[in-house]
Every structure is written in C-alpha cells, then in structure tokens.
Amino acid sequence: MISSNSSVLRTTVSTTDSDEAYGLFRQIYVDHQPVCAPADENFHMTVSTGTADTVCGGHLRGAMRYRGRAEPAAIVTMGVLAGGCITFRSRREECACGAGDAMAVMFDERSEFTVEDPDVVTLQVPLVRVTQAAQVNFGTLQEDFRLHSVRPVSPTMNEFFARVVHMVTTQLLSPEGLAFEYPLVARQLVDVVITALLNGFANSTMTVDYRPEPGKISAAAVRRAVDYIDEHAAEPIGAADIAAATGTEARELQATFVREHELTPMEYLRRVRLNGAHHDLQTCTPDGDDAVATVAAIAHRWGFVNQRLFSALYRAAFGRAPGITLGEDPP
C-alpha cells in the first residue's frame, strides 16, 4: 500500500516470501550482502515507511531471523525496539539490543547485523546532517566524526532519545502527522533528533580536548549573514547554511554576530520568522471560524513547533496574543 501527499510518501508492505523480505530490507535500510537463514513456515514481515526528502521513518515487525553484512553508507540509522533483538558487530564493538533499547548506527565501516523477530521503529538521516551539526556546535571536523557506541550513554539518555525518535517517526508514519508538511518544522524536528544523538551517544564531539577561540570575521560578512537570513527566513535553513552563504565558519560567524548584534544568527533568524508570522496573522482570514487552527498553521509555517512557546514569544514581541492579531487590518 502506498499513500502520499505533497511532502511525505508512506508505504506499507507485508510479505511471507523471504526473498521479497530480504530485498525490501536491503532497499529500505542499508546496502548489504544477505546471509540468509532458511525461512520456516511461520516467516512473515511487515514494514511501514514514511519518507520526506532525505529523512525516512520506519516500523519493522515480523517473525524472522535475518543476518547481513553491511557496506559503508552515508546514513545514520536510529531505532527503538519494542520487541525482538538486533545485534551489531563491527571492528570496534559488538552490541545486542532488546526490547526498550534505543540504538544508533553509523555505517562507516563494514559491519554485520542480525535481526530476530523485530518490532522496531527506525529513523534514518543523512550522515552529512549529523557531521555538519557536530562541526557547527562542537568544532569537530566533519571527516573526523564517529559514533563510538550503538547504545546511549545512560538509561536516562536511552529513555529521552526513545521519546524523541517516537515523536518524529509518528509524524512521518501517521497520516495524521502534519509536521513534515511544513519545511521549517521538519528541519527543526530533525535537528532535535541530531542534537539528542550527539548528546546521548558516545561520539567524537565528546573527546575534543581543545577548541581554539573562534577568530573574528569582517563586518561585511556579518551584513551578508543578515541579508541572507532576511531573504531566506521562510526556507529550512540552519547555522551551517548561513555560514556557507557568507564564506565563513559557523563558530566564527556566531562569535562576531553576537558582538555586533547581541544575539546569535539563529536567534536573529527566529526574530525574522516571528515578524513573518506577525505579518501573516495581520493579513490572513481565519479558516472558517477556526481561528485556533489558523494560528497553529501560521506558527508551523514559520517553524514554531510548540504552540505555547510561539504564543509566549509573540506576546513578548508584540504585547498581545497571536489570536488577537489574527484578521485585524494592518496598521
């Protein structure tokens, strides 16, 4: 079964044919060489996916035992098991994950995995999104980034990361999930997952011994950053995009931007988006009588995921609730 809208392609496939199942597994998750165990008469697999741009959520379940040898791939695969067992083996580590466990795998070298009777929710993001975040936020060069462990660093981080993955995959897999209809919200949700990954799993950013103070960049570069943000605020841009547009490093740009404007580029971006939402509230007509839904849609359009936070920010900036502004004539 395939369903789609403007942003998310959703599929669900069930099969009792082991060859078809292994082909689907290879297509959806990672290129690998199957090591096929004989299928018994109870074999079955169901896999649901929701794909938006380069991000894919999945739900894999079935009665199966499957082993594969994976080649290096430019993706990071995250997951949370509700049942079954998944084991990973690489040169660095062997790790078995069971019910309740969160996991994250960076296929940066040849590795083996075994999947047994899985019930697992998965989320895959491009590796470059993770390495960019590591460089922007921690100063780790993209080519030096590695995940050191499949499992989170603590039970607390396991629980937190599992909640984050479930939140995002629900938006991708459920037809009622609307977050990925709004590019700015979608970008923020993926950024939340990556931040949770970098803070919850042992990785190269945790072993950086020394980061030199960021250098100062020119005022002209800061002006280019402001112009870029003003022009592209309605697009899913981030700190790395702003820095690239100005020909600078993100940490250097942020340090100089703060000195000149007393806020970071991302804080300035939020201010511009808040002004955009204010303009839309002034000039739009509510969808029927449902003003609450219209305010929520405008907030999502401008990248504000949390409705309460949007209302608080809006009140602080404009002195009234967004619902009051809605539909008023522009001044």
Are 175 and 217 in the same domain?
Answer: no
Q: What is the dihedral of CA 111, 114, 120, 121, to 10 degrees?
A: 20
Return the residue matching tokens 């409705």.
Answer: 307
Mean pLDDT value of segment 46-65: 93
Return the residue matching tokens 């975040």.
Answer: 133
Are 302 and 321 in the same domain?
Answer: yes
Are 50 and 192 in the same domain?
Answer: yes
CB 117 within 8 A of CB 83: yes
3-state secondary structure of 237: coil
Res 252: pLDDT:
87
CB 114 within 8 A of CB 65: yes
φ, ψ for residue 5, nearest 5 deg: -135, -160
Measure the CA–CA gap between 104 and 76, rounded to whole angstroms.
7
* 18 or 2, higher pLDDT: 18
Res 201: pLDDT:
94
Q: In whole angstroms, how far apart are CA 35 and each of 66, 95, 186?
A: 7, 19, 36
CB 24 within 8 A of CB 45: yes
Are 193 and 317 in the same domain?
Answer: no
Res 275: pLDDT:
95
Q: What percent of the chain has pLDDT over 90?
A: 55
Domain of residue 277, residue span:
270-325
Return the residue matching tokens 């689907």.
Answer: 24
Quote the pTM value.
Answer: 0.82
Are 246 and 320 in the same domain?
Answer: no
**pLDDT interval class at 209 (50, 70, 90):** low
Are 196 and 217 in the same domain?
Answer: no
